Amino acid sequence: MSAGNDFQGVNLGYVLELYEKYLANPASVDSATRSYFESWRPPEEARTAAEALPAGEISKIVGVVNLAESIRK
């Protein structure tokens, strides 16, 4: 499995959010995440979907999904 396919669904959304933070400010993520992102790139379909959303929408979507998951527990 390639690094681009390690994450799917909600997990991919969360990783994309972290990746955006990393791109804006590498010091905003922990050292292990920073090390991983140095060689990781989002899969093409994720980049296309992320580019189609207005800035900040991924964070909102991830927040809603996390809320739904916490309610289900």
3-45, pLDDT tens digit by residue? 446 776 778 888 888 888 898 999 999 999 999 999 988 877 6
DSSP track, 5-42? GS--HHHHHHHHHHHHHHHH-GGGS-HHHHHHHTT---
Q: Which domain holds residue 9?
A: 3-72
Q: Report the predicted TM-score, pTM, of the whole model to 2 decimal places.
A: 0.55
Structure tokens at 14: 């969360």
Domain count, the chain: 1
Within 13 Å, how many C-alpha atoms sit on residue 57's CB side? 7
